[in-house]
Amino acid sequence: MSTLTLGRGRVPAKYLPVLVTGCLFVAMFAAGGIRYEGFASGQVVLNVFIDNAFLLVVAIGLTFVILTGGIDLSVGSVVALSTMIAAALMEGPGWPPYLVIPLVLAVGSGLGLVMGYVVHAFDIQPFIVTLAGMFLARGLCYTIGTDSIPIADPAFTVFAQTRIDLFADLWISPSVVIAVVVVLVAAYVLHYTRFGRTVYAAGGNEQSALLMGLPVGRTKIAVYTISGFCSALGGLLLSFYMLSGYGLHAVGMELDAIAAVVIGGTLLTGGSGFLLGTVLGVLVLGLIQTIISFEGTLLSWWTKIFIGMLLFVFIVLQRLFSGGSRR
Query: How far is 268 from 280, CA to CA, in rounded Å?
Result: 17
- Sequence-separated contacts (24+) of 28-31 with Cβ below 8 Å: 28/284, 28/287, 28/288, 28/291, 29/287
Write the burial class of residue 248 (CB in 10 Å: 0-12 exposed, 13-18 middle, 19+ buried). Answer: exposed
Q: Taking the domains of the chain in order of start, what are their residue ranges?
A: 3-324
How many C-beta atoms lie closer than 10 Å to residue 315's C-beta?
14
Strands, E, within the chain: which ranges?
3-6, 9-12, 149-150, 164-165, 171-172, 244-245
Torsion sign across C-alpha atoms 308, 310, 312, 314: negative
CB 202 within 8 A of CB 216: yes
Single-letter code of the amino acid located at 194: R
Contact 315, 325 (CB under 8 A): no
Looking at residue 319, its pLDDT comes to: 67
> Quick one: CATH architecture of 3-324?
Orthogonal Bundle (1.10)
Residue of 183, 163, 182 whose CA lies nearest to 240: 163
Which of 195, 323, 198 has the alpha carbon at shortest distance from 269? 323
Phi, psi of 11 (to 5 degrees): -105, 120
The single-letter DSSP state of residue 13 is: G
Please give the single-letter amino acid code of residue 126.
P
Rounded CA gap, 154 and 19, in Å? 44
Which of 33, 44, 1, 35 has its CA nearest to residue 283?
Answer: 44
Give me the pLDDT at residue 4, please: 55
Give the span between the Cα atoms of 173 and 110, in whole angstroms.
28
Local structure of residue 59 (DSSP, 8 states)? H
C-alpha–C-alpha distance, residues 91 and 223, integer Å: 32
pTM above 0.85, yes or no: yes
Rounded to 5 degrees, φ, ψ at 249 are -65, 150
CA distances from 289 to 75, 166, 302 (A): 21, 24, 9
pLDDT tens for the 327 residues of the chain, in order: 455 555 445 667 677 778 888 998 999 899 889 888 888 888 999 999 999 999 999 999 999 999 999 999 999 999 999 999 999 999 878 899 999 999 999 999 999 999 999 999 999 999 999 999 999 999 999 999 989 999 999 999 999 999 999 988 899 999 999 999 999 999 999 999 999 999 999 998 889 999 999 999 999 999 999 999 999 999 999 999 999 999 999 998 999 999 999 989 898 888 888 999 999 999 999 998 888 888 877 666 777 788 888 888 777 776 666 554 444
